[in-house]
Structure 1
Amino acid sequence: MMMEFQNLQDAERLALAVVNTIHDPLLVLDSKFCVLAASRSFYETFHVVPEHTIGRFLFSLGNGQWDIPALRQLLETIIPAQTAMDGFEVEAVFPSRGHRIMVLNARQVVFEDKANAMILLAFADVTVGRAIQREKDALLRRTEELLLQKEILLQEMQHRVANSLQIIASILLLKARIVTSEETRRDLHDAHQRLMSVAEVQRHLHVTHGIDQILVGSYLSTLCDSLGASMIRDAQPIDITTIGDAGQIGSDQAVSLGLIVTELVINAIKYAFPVFQADAQVLVNYTSSGADWSLIVADNGIGKKGDPATRAGGGLGTAIVQALAKQLGARIDISNNVTGTGISITYTGITSTVGPA
């Protein structure tokens, strides 16, 4: 329901009260862009007084900061045609305020007789907001630069690690060729093989660099394919089968898991088939349920007919696997019988121990 006023003065007083209540600066202009009224916030924001504002031409206010050709064109042409202007940005130096960024919005008010028209011109100071946004943008750019630097440094570190591992491996092989002790030669070859297993894990995780969660099935499959290609000889073909579900683990856990699989697969290839066996097979099976998971590495080799200590990975191999399993909080169980050897690593979210052999 529209309010009815007894006289024009009452309506003017209400309009002026509304104008002065508005937080953002506001001007009321006539059709010639002369100031008819100004809000209290306009005087406070731009540090001007009514006698230097009322009746003055908009484009001559202050030091002429509003005398902008684009703004003049909008007010003189677009406002009469469209009755509104939104989001016009002015960046200028204002007396007593310094450099500010203002966003202007305008509305044309046409009265019933259409003889006179007014324009309401509102000002929003967005200087602080724009400064904050610039700071955010600069921080984002800096963050992106730091991430890029981190990426480059990590790639360089991985490259150096790979080169260092290769140099050490070459030195071990060189030493193995010149020593006279068979036992020392065997130890050097074992050290070389374990070093290469570390290199394999490092190389395969490098291709998933930057990904926090690793898809275990494909990761172990790629790893075992590489191990088989480098270690299996034509004299004793061995089928390495990898089965893995869609489970994922963190990249830090993947390192330990990959080293465990590498150690167990290498030992199966080296010790499970001392004599030719046509159906020689090593099975790597990974299953998961929520946060719990189970890894089984089994072969159909000599089993109990071999040395259990050697078949379980030998003294050093057992220590490596146990240390890595402990790091993961997982349990080890060894099954050694006439049909082969199976070693399971199980994580259930509960502190685990090494099970019986």
Structure 2
Amino acid sequence: MTIPLPEWALHEALWIGFPSDRSLWAEDLAPAQQEVVEFARAIHADGKGEAVWLVAADEAAATVARKLAPFSRVIHEPFGDVWLRDTGAIVTGSGRNRRAQGFVFNGWGGKYDLPGDDSIGERLSAEAGLAYAKADWILEGGAIDGDGSGSFITTEQCLLNPNRNPGLSYADIEQRLARDLGADRIVWLGQGLANDHTDGHVDNLARYVAAGRVAIPTAGRDDPNRAVYQDAAKRLAKAGLDVVTLPSPGLVERDGEMVPASYMNFVIGNATVVVPIYGAPLDEAAVDVVQAIFPDRRAIGLRADHLLIGGGSFHCISQQVPR
């Protein structure tokens, strides 16, 4: 069993979902596409970063992607929506030992059943020449985060949710993570962010930034997720992990509804770390903290307003292929 490398290990490429379906994105389609292009450009970093593989669901979107992002490789493969962190395979190992591990996908507990999302991981793996295996249980990539040593963090809200794998216990989940991803330690956090349709994905809450070191948000009194962050900090400290804190954007609303905005949905590239920002007062401070955490990379804050309306941000739409 090969363990997934940590996200800060060098990448050959980054798969990035390109918004394609106007029936899903409506008037946000073109602005969301532009946000994705700016994200892809920052990751590519004029050739100093990794290759960018933009994945478009139809030829119309592929044509737009080729025009807006000539520095990228555009892959036309049908899918439901752009959230490749969850629908794509997790690539483990490196060099000749690389392989793609897939899982059953059920639309985040049956919320969004879209054609192609249950097979896009296998198709992208085949296109990249990666051997593929599919596990017999439900897991989304955004539900776990690892440091490359076999240690993972996750949330009870997601992995123990009866809408994913009813009847599975803590021990059952841990056994499956050990079998399929080489996990030898699982640190369980509690709830994820409020109004997150993923049922608490950890990549909006806590992220490994080095071996044994986890970044989480810290919040003011009026932050809707204050109690969630405090509980996560206590659990991580109890587990003996080093905790570093980022600001929280606080309450962020779109069209009068609270959305799960988080600076934790950053992407660690070869040359840059791209942080989603939202026009919140602490945007700049969050990017500064990320820069301090990753002094060997350039931290870049980019607006992700239209992607957020779709349900996620930069980490959610991407999946790395280790070098």
The two structures have a TM-score, normalised by structure 2, of 0.24
Q: Which has the higher contact order (CA 8 A, sep 6+)?
A: 2
TM-score (normalised: structure 1): 0.22
More helix by share: 1
